[in-house]
Amino acid sequence: MGEHVAIGILGLGTVGSGVVRMVHGHQEELQHKVGCKVVVEKVLVQDLEKERRVSPKQEWLTLDPDDVLSNPNIDVVIEVMGGIGLARKYILQALNNGKHVITANKDLMALHGAELLKTAADNGCDLFYEASVAGGIPIIRALKEGLASDRITKMMGIVNGTTNYILTKMDKQQLSFQDVLKEAQELGFAEADPTSDVEGLDAARKMAILSTLGFSMNIHLDDVDVKGITGVTKEDIDYARQFGYTIKLIGNARKDDGKVEVSVEPTLLPDTHPLSSVHNEYNAVYIYGEAVGETMFFGPGAGELPTATSVVSDLVAVIRNMRLGVNGKNDVAPQYEKQLKPLDEIHGKFYYRLHIKDEAGTFSVLASLFAENGVSLEKLLQNPTSSKGTVEVVIVTHGTTKQRDSLVYSQLLKSDAVYGIESHFRVEGVSA
């Protein structure tokens, strides 16, 4: 290790620009913290001439990935280009060339994290990814170190800023999903193609990463049960409020008797739950550990500088390890074989909004249907609707299993008494 550490950056978009700004703007503090200068050596871009948020030196920019990945001067590669195929290939190449890697790429870590971490360890390299989950919140570190001695049994996260922004605005301004989405797109809080955010995929990737770490078990993206927020209506938000709940897109991960469940779904949170007051584009992760009890980590989930903070903090850790000669020795492989809960071991309460026939007897048909499946009702509200002959019924069940709830759901779908299941969400019990 010479008198300075040289970094190569893959991508110069929002986060890449933030990294360049922080490495330069905080150079003095960085030098104090790591004991040497940190310099940008090369930046892989797609277009040498593009106007940018930062003014990079022209000699940094390159169109050739090998100028970064095989550059003997470069010690650390920072991957902030996003995507999966190329990013994976480049990271593997960098690691195999003995370079330490820092990535902000949740898609990649959720799909190929185990492979990449193993390659890093095999090459004696660090692979850090704090920025991949909840931007500026140091949650990966909290799980790997701060809570390392505890047994985590529950994690709940608001880990997607776009959907939290949309749900907050729908709630506070009484707007529809479509109206808020349009506004969010205009303001740059939502992408032109919002699918990955609003369908819950982005949050699912983050929950796969968090639950792998928290439960010490390789949880794959496919193990996460996902439902987005496109079905959440103003009406649902209003009914939820009447019942004392706030609707949030919640990543939910629980471990009982060695078996886990991981889901991302719109969830009615009691207004007293710490996550119910996390608004706008903010993220938060609530963790329950057997010893520590309740903890929560709150902060910005995205953005140029918050995400760059996590990337550059990872860089500080990599360089400290370089100085101590201990790179590639910090990661602990998952301790347990993956065991997922079957549906009859997943417990929860559920919310239904139904349109039913406005006829004598309909209500008793409905009540029997729940009762026959062993599901009892905690709250029930009935409202006339604008369509003649139809009544709107809103139900919150008592605690039951996902299996029983699925039976109720499929029977409601088939029932002649029911015109339609307008909404069907999970309800969080009293805060643990």
Return binding residues for L-homoserine.
Answer: 191
DSSP-derived 3-state class of residue 324: helix
Establish if 320 lies at the interface with a copy of itself (CB under 8 A). yes
* Residue 269 binds to a copy of itself (criterion: CB under 8 A): no
Q: Is 256 in the site for a copy of itself (CB under 8 A)?
A: no
Distance CA 127, CA 26 (A): 23
* Closest distance of CB 44 from a copy of itself, Å: 22
Q: Establish if 114 lies at the interface with a copy of itself (CB under 8 A).
A: no
Kindly give the residue spans of alpha helices, DSSP state H, lying in 137-200.
139-141, 161-173, 177-187, 195-198
Neighbours of 86 (CB within 10 A): 13
Between the CA atoms of 13, 16, 17 and 18, what dihedral angle is there, to the nearest 10 degrees?
A: 130
Q: Determine if 328 is a binding residue for a copy of itself (CB under 8 A).
A: no
Q: Among 368, 15, 421, 73, which residue's Cα sits nearest to residue 231?
A: 421
Query: Shortest Cβ distance from residue 298 to a copy of itself (Å)?
Result: 4
> Smallest distance, Å, CB 257 to a copy of itself?
15
Q: Does 181 bind a copy of itself (CB under 8 A)?
A: no
Measured from the CB atom, the residue of 61 and 121 that comes closer to a copy of itself is: 121
Interaction of residue 432 with a copy of itself, rule CB under 8 A:
no
Q: Is the dihedral of CA 405, 411, 416, 419 positive or negative?
A: positive
Least distance in Å: CB of 165 to a copy of itself? 15
From 206, 227, 341, 402, active-site residue: 206
Q: Say which amino acid occupies 82.
A: G
Q: Decide: is 274 part of the binding site for a copy of itself (CB under 8 A).
A: yes
Q: How far is CA 127 from the centre of its chain?
A: 19
Phi and psi, residue 233, nearest 5° = -110, 165
Q: Which is nearer to a copy of itself, 85 or 325 (CB)?
A: 325
Of these, 160, 246, 267, 313, which contacts a copy of itself (CB under 8 A)? 313
CB count in 10 Å sphere of residue 380: 15
Judge whether 379 counts as a catalytic residue.
no
Nearest CA-CA partner of 23 in 335, 247, 320, 315: 315
DSSP one-letter string for 238-261: HHHHHTTEEEEEEEEEEEETTEEE
Among 114, 175, 316, 380, indicate the residue that binds a copy of itself (CB under 8 A): 316
Q: Is 334 helix (H, G, I), strand (E, B) or coil?
A: coil
Among 24, 29, 86, 364, binds a copy of itself (CB under 8 A): 29
The angle subtended at Cα 284 by Cα 144 and Cα 188, nearest 5°, is 120
Strand 61-62's sheet: what is its strand order?
61-62, 37-44, 4-10, 76-79, 100-103, 127-128
Q: How far is the CB of 146 from a copy of itself (least distance, A)?
A: 2
Task: Choose one: 92-100, 147-155, 245-253, 413-421; the region binding a copy of itself (CB under 8 A).
Answer: 147-155
305 or 427: CB nearest a copy of itself:
305
**Count of residues near a copy of itself by CB under 8 A:** 56
| Residue 37 to residue 110: CA distance in whole angstroms | 33
Residues in binding site for NADP(+): 10-17
Sequence ranges of the binding site for NADPH:
106
Nearer to a copy of itself, 209 or 369 (CB): 209
Does residue number 301 form part of the binding site for a copy of itself (CB under 8 A)?
Answer: no
Active-site residues: which are they? 206
- Binding interface with a copy of itself (CB under 8 A): 18, 22, 26, 29-30, 32-33, 130, 136-138, 141-142, 145-151, 216, 274, 277, 282, 289-300, 303, 305-306, 308-310, 312-313, 315-317, 320, 323-326, 329-330, 332, 335
